[in-house]
């Protein structure tokens, strides 16, 4: 497991550099169990050719037949991630900023913006339009709502994810012309909780029941794992694994990516999609852009591999299907996508019967009836700590643990009762904690923005504050991040999903 921790030295205001970084991790990081389900090309391996989004479109059968005319228009996609940056390849008209629930929301110069580089990469796959490279997202006319929960180090607590999902459910119809019908979760917590009580699975099931297709990354711990990450392990969601495309736009040579989690019990991967060396939008000066310069493809693109990328591909495909069939339920969309997939004859995918996404195949099945699933549901009455598992954010050497949210003490059953009636949010207050503004009155580069708020509650670490001196070191200036350091204080998770650098 690759572990990274950063902290603020309380004496002399000095910033400590990351410690407990496994030797050689920059070249070949070990798999971890929670966080963002992606890895980024590094100087250790520059041999893998980039897979363009045009190639991905061909592989998934979206450039011919009925699918070729679809753009995702009229469909809202919620991206719960690390925010998005205003790069030229991301049209402001297609982007809405929901509330920033990340630790960086307390710094005006970082609010809503992607300091890590992950969310921008996902957004590019879905709605990108980069004229410099000719790269176009797979659902370029979908309306993307970005809810930022991760920092420059990818750090996020499971309670931030739960609050974000709750917010999407509450506000899914705020834009009647582009209702949110898809949630992209390129994320997995470090927990392996009981499915019948887990709070995170309860949250995504409530979204599913509200008519939202939840697309979740299976995880990047490898084919030898026995469980998918949470919430992909939930039977209700659409769990996505990645394929290796081997540099071609044919499917006959595509294979199951070796980093994809598989399950020996419980929910298995539902669908595969291209997820190796995907060239999408670069976030200049972001953490990953600075750390892995060899991953750059030209000046505007960046190459990344993981079930994160595959998840974004499937989220875009779900938007295309929903444009074609706007009255479709999440159960219908899931079954059409799964059963309309392409058989892969080579390797483990073939022997396991795992199919690769085929949009035209899914559209061809939209006339078939879909039986209502009878899977078990979560009560939500478990514990947040079991949902976290091994993934804990650390502030001043103090991990966040136990039955509390980032913002204060909170019992899961108390939250579940509110979430069940879509009342966990009231304006900018979630479960009694004022963590965002009260409506669409904020300002940013996006077409519409939810207002911010100053967190009045105190952090879980004794004597700490939400203010980080390092936050002043970076601002978005023009088309890149200004000089500074990402090795700031905090909010570092002690682990997150990774795979071999591609």
User: Cα(242)–Cα(476) distance, rounded to whole angstroms?
Assistant: 32
Phi, psi of 418 (to 5 degrees): -75, -45
- Residues 98, 203 contacting (CB under 8 angstroms): no
Q: How far are the Cα atoms of 60, 224, 399, 411, 419 from residue 386, in angstroms, in the given order?
A: 36, 23, 14, 12, 19
CA 19 to chain centre: 26
C-alpha to C-alpha distance for 398 and 234, rounded to whole angstroms? 30
Q: Please answer whether residues 354 and 361 qualify as being in contact, where contact means their C-beta atoms are separated by less than 8 angstroms.
A: no
Instruction: Give the residue from 158, 145, 168, 238 showing the smallest Cα distance to 190.
Output: 158
Whether the CB-CB separation of 474 and 481 falls below 8 Å is answered with: yes
Catalytic positions are 81, 118, 308
Considering only CA atoms, which of 34, 37, 308 is closest in space to residue 190? 34
CB 226 within 8 A of CB 188: no
Phi, then psi, of 83 in degrees rounded to 5: 90, 180
The radius of gyration of the chain's CA atoms, rounded to the nearest angstrom, is: 20
Q: Rounded to whole angstroms, how far apart are CA atoms 68 and 268? A: 30
Burial of 295 (0-12, 13-18, 19+ CB in 10 A): buried
**What span, in angstroms and rounded, lies between the C-alpha atoms of 94 and 75?**
11
Instruction: State whether residue 243 is helix, strand or coil.
Output: strand
Which helix (DSSP H) or strand (DSSP E) does residue 167 occupy? Answer: helix 158-170
């Amino acid at each position: 497991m690759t572990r990274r921790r950063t902290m603020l030295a309380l004496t002399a205001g000095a910033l400590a550099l990351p410690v407990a970084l496994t030797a050689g991790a920059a070249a070949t990081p070990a798999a971890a169990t929670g966080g963002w389900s992606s890895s980024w090309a590094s100087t250790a391996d520059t041999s893998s050719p980039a897979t363009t989004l045009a190639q991905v479109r061909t592989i998934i059968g979206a450039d011919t037949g009925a699918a070729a005319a679809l753009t995702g228009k009229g469909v809202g996609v919620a991206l719960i991630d690390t925010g998005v940056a205003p790069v030229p390849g991301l049209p402001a008209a297609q982007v809405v900023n929901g509330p920033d629930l990340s630790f960086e929301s307390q710094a005006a110069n970082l609010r809503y913006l992607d300091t890590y580089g992950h969310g921008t990469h996902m957004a590019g796959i879905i709605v990108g339009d980069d004229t410099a490279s000719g790269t176009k997202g797979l659902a370029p006319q979908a309306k993307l709502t970005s809810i930022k929960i991760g920092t420059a180090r990818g750090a996020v607590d499971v309670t931030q994810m739960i609050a974000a999902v709750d917010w999407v459910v509450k506000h899914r119809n705020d834009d009647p012309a582009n209702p949110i019908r898809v949630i992209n979760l390129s994320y997995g917590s470090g927990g392996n909780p009981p499915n019948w009580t887990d709070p995170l699975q309860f949250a995504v099931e409530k979204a599913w029941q509200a008519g939202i297709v939840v697309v979740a990354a299976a995880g990047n711990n490898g084919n030898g794992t026995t469980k998918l990450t949470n919430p992909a392990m939930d039977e209700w969601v659409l769990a996505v694994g990645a394929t290796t495309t081997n540099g071609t736009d044919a499917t006959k040579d595509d294979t199951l990516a070796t980093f994809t989690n598989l399950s020996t019990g419980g929910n298995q991967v539902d669908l595969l999609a291209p997820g190796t060396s995907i060239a999408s939008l670069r976030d200049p000066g972001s953490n990953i852009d600075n750390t892995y310069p060899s991953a750059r493809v030209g000046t505007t693109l960046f190459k990344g591999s993981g079930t994160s990328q595959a998840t974004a591909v499937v989220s875009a495909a779900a938007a295309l299907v929903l444009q074609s069939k706007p009255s479709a339920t999440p159960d219908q969309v899931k079954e059409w996508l799964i059963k309309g997939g392409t058989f892969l004859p080579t390797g483990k995918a073939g022997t396991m019967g795992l199919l690769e996404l085929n949009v035209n195949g899914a559209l061809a099945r939209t006339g078939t009836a879909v039986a209502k699933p009878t899977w078990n549901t979560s009560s939500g009455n478990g514990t947040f700590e079991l949902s976290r598992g091994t993934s804990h954010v650390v502030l001043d050497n103090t991990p966040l643990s136990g039955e509390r949210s980032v913002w204060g003490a909170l019992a899961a059953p108390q939250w579940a009762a509110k979430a069940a009636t879509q009342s966990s949010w009231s304006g900018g207050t979630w479960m009694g904690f004022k963590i965002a503004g009260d409506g669409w009155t904020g300002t940013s580069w996006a077409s519409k923005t939810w207002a911010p708020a100053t967190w009045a509650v105190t952090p879980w670490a004794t004597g700490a504050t939400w203010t980080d001196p390092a936050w002043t070191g970076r601002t978005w200036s023009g088309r890149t991040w200004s000089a500074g350091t990402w090795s700031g204080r905090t909010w570092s998770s002690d682990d997150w999903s990774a795979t071999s650098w591609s």
